[in-house]
Amino acid sequence: MIKFAYIKNDTLFFVLSHPAGKQEFDNNIQSIKSALKFLMPEECKETLINDIKAFVTHTPIKKAVETEHKVMRYPERATGEFTVEIEDERLRTLVMSIQNIIKAKK
């Protein structure tokens, strides 16, 4: 649920995507603060972090521009040339109508 984080004015901000995530984050904020005091990441050693805050944003995430999908089309290979050996007349009529459609499109 964390969209991103940034540091501003010696405060580490976490931007969350859902209010439930913020509530859970707020419940664990003291654990995060103590973990950062115990072991600061190498990239942040130069930066002083006095506080940690979180807020929820409702702005949608910008998705990458979708590239145009190329639809692959293949020529129809069915000719409709098959024998219908079905005894049930309703089913036989249905299969023969499908056969006629295939022949008409070929």
For the chain, domain boundaries: 2-56, 75-106
Residues of the chain with pLDDT under 70: 60-69
Q: How far is 53 from 25, CA to CA, in rounded Å?
A: 9
pLDDT at 78: 83
- Burial classification of residue 16, based on how many CB atoms lie within 10 Å of its CB (0-12 exposed, 13-18 middle, 19 or more buried): buried
pLDDT at 62: 67
